[in-house]
């Protein structure tokens, strides 16, 4: 595997992570440019990937990534991985939403709602859906090119209520939440019921039984793993979340062995205790939301997560902040960190390990 010094040791540490065991330091996923290498800047936007896919080119983006992977060193628990997704709202596209790619932008968008009301939504999943076939081909092509040198990650689904929000629009889903809760339960059960089937297809296409699974957060697992989220929950009351969000999480968990919950925005904190009560969630990745202070300023919340027996996943701390921390339980903490050179990364790892001796 590209620029990973001891793959078996990394896998052993990941087993410890999922079992909430102390490995002598916090879990860290550190990357740095490989000495003596220079890679021309690549277009890694969803817009570029989607346009390539629509003209039948599923390989060029992977080849571009491979150049970057060969020039990137990995330390701690970091592993090279390729993101084969074609857009954030691809799960909604599997049910007929049209995805728009705008020149000059990074991400893609749902062009317009498929329907205004739930009763007009056909949520029958068809494997021959054009967008689904493109994503499957993207994953399969990447796995063939990877050939064990990097891992193709589990797609970023944006499923459950987030998919319905994209299909109807957030405003219309709010109306349905108030006016037609029974129909919403029915439609949500239908879309949630497809999750395991969809997961299995990508699991096979990405050769994940052999490689293990790796999420868009960079978390790795030798078994079946995913990142679950429900960003739409920020618009819901605690009672509504208990009725719709928590059952969605639990249904998706039936298809995997391990899971991280991507908790996005302080407006969703009214559901915190209910999310924490889902026993099979192993870890919480806290994202405070646009305009909010970084996660280091949410220490009370992070410690509450750990007190509840779950790990925290942190993506915005500096090397200095990680080395200075004395408040978080290192057995229940994972950091991702990009550094400027091999020397800087090696010095960081040495200081971190020395701190906990």
Instruction: Report pLDDT digits (tens) over 320-329.
Output: 999 999 999 9
pLDDT value of residue 30: 98
Cβ within 8 Å of residue 118, ≥6 positions away: 164, 168, 176, 180, 183, 184, 187
Per DSSP bridges, beta strands 220-221 and 213-214 are antiparallel
259 pLDDT band, cuts 50/70/90, is very high
List pLDDT tens digits, range 79-133: 999 999 999 999 999 999 999 999 999 999 999 999 999 999 999 999 999 999 9
pLDDT value of residue 49: 96
346 pLDDT band, cuts 50/70/90, is very high
Q: Does the pLDDT value for residue 313 go beyond 90?
A: yes
Rounded distance between C-alpha atoms, residue 97 and residue 210, angstroms: 33
From start to end of 16-152, where are the E strands? 27-33, 72-76, 81-82, 99-100, 109-110, 151-152
List pLDDT tens digits, range 51-72: 999 999 999 999 999 999 999 9
Q: Does the pLDDT value for residue 172 go beyond 90?
A: yes
pLDDT value of residue 357: 86
pLDDT value of residue 177: 97
List pLDDT tens digits, range 130-143: 999 999 999 999 99
The two structure tokens encoding residue 203: 């699991």
38 pLDDT band, cuts 50/70/90, is confident
pLDDT value of residue 2: 98
Q: What percent of the chain has pLDDT over 70?
A: 100
Region 175-179: what's the mean pLDDT?
97
Rounded distance between C-alpha atoms, residue 257 and residue 154, angstroms: 13
pLDDT value of residue 327: 98
List pLDDT tens digits, range 198-232: 999 999 999 999 999 999 999 999 999 999 999 99
Rounded distance between C-alpha atoms, residue 142 and residue 65, angstroms: 10
5 pLDDT band, cuts 50/70/90, is very high
Rounded distance between C-alpha atoms, residue 23 and residue 42, angstroms: 36
Q: Does the pLDDT value for residue 290 go beyond 90?
A: no
pLDDT value of residue 217: 93
The pTM for the full model equals 0.96
Q: Is the dihedral of CA 102, 105, 106, 112 positive or negative?
A: negative
Rounded distance between C-alpha atoms, residue 133 and residue 198, angstroms: 11
Q: Does the pLDDT value for residue 350 go beyond 90?
A: yes
Closest to 323 (Cα-Cα) out of 293, 357, 353: 353
pLDDT value of residue 141: 98
């Amino acid at each position: 595997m590209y620029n990973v010094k001891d793959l078996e040791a990394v896998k052993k540490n990941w087993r410890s992570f999922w079992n909430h065991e102390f490995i002598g330091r916090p879990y860290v996923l550190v990357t740095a440019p490989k000495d003596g290498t220079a890679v021309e800047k690549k277009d890694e936007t969803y817009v570029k990937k989607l346009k390539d896919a629509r003209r039948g080119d599923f390989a060029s983006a992977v080849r571009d990534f491979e150049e970057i992977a060969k020039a990137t060193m990995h330390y701690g628990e970091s592993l090279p991985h390729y993101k084969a997704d074609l857009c954030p709202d691809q799960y909604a596209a599997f049910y007929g939403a049209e995805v728009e790619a705008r020149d000059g932008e990074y991400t893609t968008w749902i062009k317009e709602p498929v329907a205004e009301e739930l009763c007009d939504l056909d949520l029958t999943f068809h494997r021959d859906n054009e967008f689904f076939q493109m994503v499957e081909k993207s994953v399969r092509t990447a796995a063939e090119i990877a050939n064990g040198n990097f891992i193709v990650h589990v797609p970023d689904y944006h499923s459950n209520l987030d998919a319905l929000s994209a299909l109807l629009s957030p405003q219309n889903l709010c109306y349905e939440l108030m006016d037609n809760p029974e129909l919403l339960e029915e439609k949500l059960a239908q879309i949630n019921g497809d999750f395991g089937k969809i997961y299995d297809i990508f699991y096979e296409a990405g050769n994940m039984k052999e490689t293990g699974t790796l999420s868009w957060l960079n978390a790795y697992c030798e078994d079946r793993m995913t990142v679950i989220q429900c960003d739409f929950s920020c618009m819901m009351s605690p009672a509504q979340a208990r009725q719709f969000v928590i059952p969605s999480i639990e249904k998706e968990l039936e298809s995997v062995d391990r899971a991280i919950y991507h908790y996005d925005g302080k407006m969703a904190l009214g559901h915190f205790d209910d999310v924490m009560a889902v026993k099979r969630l192993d870890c919480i990745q806290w994202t405070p939301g646009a305009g909010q202070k970084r996660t280091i300023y949410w220490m009370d919340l992070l410690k509450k997560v750990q007190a509840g027996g779950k790990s925290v996943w942190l993506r915005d701390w500096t090397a200095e902040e990680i080395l200075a921390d004395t408040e978080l339980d290192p057995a229940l903490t994972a950091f991702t960190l990009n550094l400027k050179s091999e020397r800087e990364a090696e010095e960081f790892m040495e200081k971190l390990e020395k701190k906990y001796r």
